[in-house]
Amino acid sequence: MSSISTVSLDNLVIPMAEIKEMWDQMTDNQRQRYDVYRRTALNKGSVKKLAYHILNQQISSTLTFVLAGFSKVFVGEIVERAVQLKVERGEAEEGPLKPEHLREAYRLYKKETQTGSSSGFTKRLF
Amino acid sequence: MESQIEVTNKQFPRHKLFSRELAMLMYGFGDEMPPLPESVDVLEDILIDYINDICIQAAKVSSKPSKISVDDFKFVLRKDPKKLARIVELLAMNKEIEIARTLF
């Protein structure tokens, strides 16, 4: 892979060649969906406001940016899981995601990332 | 079983913070367009619960709880390679943008 097709930021390599290859092979529908996925981000003002209410402090722009960023990854993990659950239940053709799919996805997510309730605070969400 | 979501801490603004972006993200990540409004609402509650959880953990591990830093979040997410990698990528991008700005 030539160095022109990748961008190195310290040890981070962004695989632009692979992304281009993927893009070329997509259908128009897929491209549209991918485009929305790439461009859409959580509103920074809302994230900042939410963080203010939780932490009782104004967080920096960088931190807002970071928080919005990995939260988007989280949203992806939940939605993808929910879609997977929907398909596994044989409901693939039955319209958009239902709340129960998302709730189950989140329940499984929490179960899998549990490091033990070190805070002693267990809140039953569902 | 349809159970109502109970968020014990009702201080912060709850609904319609992220509705628009979440609807688009749901499509981006595989849902149909348009999504069910109630699903968007549930996803928002889930997201707020998650952010709340992470922020509280960050405050707990911080050496300076009154001034939370990115490093606190990096520690909280230490076992989550995907999100951690995303943070590193975002910070690198941010740095590049700042360098580009100073060159102007």
- Contact assessment for residue B8 and residue A123, using Cβ atoms and an 8 Å cutoff: yes
| Residue B13 included in any domain | no
Q: How many domains, in total, are found in chain B? A: 1
Q: Quick check: helix, strand or coil at residue A9?
A: strand
Residue B83 within a domain: yes
By Cβ distance, the residue of B3, B36, B47 closest to A126 is B3
Decide if B67 and A101 are in contact by the 8 Å CB cutoff. no
Phi, psi angle pair for A5, to nearest 5°: -90, -5
3-state helix, strand, coil in chain A (%, to 5): 60, 5, 35
Residue B8 lies in a domain: no
- pLDDT at B5 (0 to 100): 44
Diameter of chain B measured on Cα atoms: 58
Q: The CATH number of the domain where B40 resides is what?
A: 1.10.20
Does the pLDDT value for residue B83 go beyond 70?
Answer: yes
B13 versus B23: the higher-pLDDT residue is B23
Interface size A-B, in CB pairs within 8 Å, comes to 166
Nearest CB neighbour to A99, from listed B6, B39, B66: B39
Of A36, A100, A106, the CB nearest to B27: A36
| Residues of chain B neighbouring A96 (CB-CB closer than 8 A) | 26, 31-36, 39
Minimal-distance CA residue of chain B relative to A119: B57
Mean pLDDT of chain B, nearest integer: 87
Whether residue B3 is contained in a domain is answered as no
In a domain, B38, yes or no: yes
- What is the per-residue pLDDT for A22? 87
- pLDDT at res. A120: 60
- pLDDT above 50 for B2: no
Does A36 sit within 8 Å of B28, measured CB to CB?
A: yes
Residue A117's pLDDT is 58
Global ipTM? 0.86
Residue A55 has a CB neighbour count (10 Å cut-off) of 20
Boundaries of domain holding B96: 19-103
B31 within domain boundaries: yes
Contact between chains at B82 and A77 (C-beta distance less than 8 A): yes
Q: Report the chain A residue with the minimal C-alpha distance to residue B39.
A: A99
H-helix or E-strand spanning residue B92: helix B81-102
Residue B52 counted as domain residue? yes
Q: Could you read off the pLDDT of B37-68 as tens digits, one per residue?
A: 999 999 999 999 999 999 999 999 999 999 99
| Test the B interface: residue of A33, A39, A75 with most B CBs within 10 Å | A75
* Omega before residue A99 within 30° of 0, cis: no
How far, in Å, CA of B71 to CA of A108, rounded?
Answer: 27
CB–CB contact B25 A101 (8 Å):
no
Residue B95 lies in a domain: yes
> pLDDT tens digits, chain A, 126 residues: what are they?
333 334 444 555 667 888 888 888 889 889 999 999 999 999 999 999 999 999 999 999 999 999 999 999 999 999 999 999 999 999 888 889 999 999 999 999 999 987 665 556 667 787
